[in-house]
Amino acid sequence: MQKRTLGNSSLEVSALGLGCMGLSHGYGPATDTQQSVSLIRHAFDLGVTFFDTAEVYGPYLNEEVVGQALAPVRDQVVIATKFGFTFGADNKQQILNSRPEHIRVAVEGSLRRLKTDYIDLLYQHRVDPNVPIEDVAGAVKALIDEGKVKHFGLSEAGAQTIRRAHAVQPVTALQSEYSLWWREPELEIFPTLRELGIGFVPFSPLGKGFLTGAIAADAAFGSDDFRSIVPRFSPEALQANQDLISRLREIAAQKAVTPAQIALAWLLAQAPCIVPIPGTTKLDRLKENIGSTEVTLSSADLQSIATALAQITVHGDRYPESLKARVGR
């Protein structure tokens, strides 16, 4: 697989990474550990060198799975993880916490679970309004100076927060949602990243599964599936958003590929420092996603997609009201 460099940094990764969250968190029961380990190792064998996890996924379980899977090839891969929360007694309540002393505790836990002595890319998972971002960047800078962390990242941060953090410790990558059906980062975030030389890692590049075309208009989600509380996955929105899938299928058919491959190839074509991290629990989907790196979209193809998108209105917010305040700060 081709490699990409995240912004102006020295961090080189595979053009497509693997988002590991769904193996343990967010989309129903956790996948069997050995199945998860096998999938991650298959991804490596197929050329993926960039793996994304976080302490909150589980919590903690996902880091353990990723650590076990990648231990034999640790020096050949890039592992990204995240800090930024403490948890209630049942480990379900997520409480924002980016105090410098907590960052250090979180990193020590991540290092232990990941079976490594350094983290390649450490993200603040969500901006904590109670802690100045300069203090957060300073805490990560200290960890970088100690060799426990190699690169600093932010997730779902706003442009001014990115600038303030970058002035203390250069930010290697921003991770935020971006896809054919969520393009808000293009407005203010992309110009900021280009100016500062920061890479971009889109999560949910397949719209939490919707852009694969595999989610029917009448789909239902269990209470342990995050999409059950997302307005964009309400019955009304799923029905209304089928227009986007219909158009995506038409474009994919013209290229003899799948809708998911078009969605990922479109992201890869937006800029050379963009590295999507689609997640999956299935080997065939993993191979399909990796196949997107071989799909070439011409200027005419991209214009056709842009024209189609301009004619479609996506229905439903991407987050419920309770989580909206955590993004874009």
Q: Is residue 175 part of a domain?
A: yes
For residue range 1-12, list pLDDT tens digits in order: 999 999 999 999
pLDDT in tens, 147-169: 999 999 999 999 999 999 999 99
**Cβ-contact 76, 49 below 8 angstroms:** yes
CB-CB contact of 85 with 56 (8 Å) = yes
Average pLDDT for the chain: 97
Separation of CA 144 from chain center: 22
Unique residue bearing structure tokens 């983290």: 119
Residue 163 in 3-state DSSP? helix
CATH of the domain at 143: 3.20.20.100
CA-wise closest residue to 270 among 193, 208, 209:
193
pLDDT of residue 91: 78
Digit-coded pLDDT (tens) for 193-211: 999 999 999 999 999 999 9
In a domain, 327, yes or no: no
Residue 103 lies in a domain: yes
Q: Does 249 map to a domain?
A: yes
Alpha helices in the chain (DSSP H): 33-45, 61-70, 100-113, 133-145, 159-168, 189-196, 235-240, 242-255, 259-270, 283-291, 299-310, 321-324
Residue 266 confidence (pLDDT): 98
Question: 71 in a domain, yes or no?
Answer: yes
* pLDDT above 80 for 89: no
% of the chain exceeding 70 in pLDDT: 100
Number of domains in the chain: 1
**Has residue 329 been placed in a domain?**
no
Domain limits at 158?
A: 3-322
Concerning whether 57 is annotated as a catalytic residue, the answer is: yes
Degrees, nearest 5: CA angle 14-20-23: 145
Instruction: Give SS3 for 198.
Output: coil
> Beta strand 50-52 with 78-83: parallel, antiparallel or unpaired?
parallel
Q: Can you give the pLDDT at residue 88?
A: 82
User: Using CA atoms, how far apart are residues 304 and 310, in angstroms rounded to an integer?
Assistant: 10
Q: Catalytic: which of 27, 57, 60, 123?
A: 57
Q: Across-strand partners of 14?
A: 3
Specify if 328 maps to a domain: no
pLDDT band, very low/low/confident/very high, at 321 (cuts 50, 70, 90):
very high
* pLDDT tens profile 90-99: 777 899 999 9
Quick one: which of 187, 123, 119 has its CA closest to 159?
187
258 located within any domain: yes
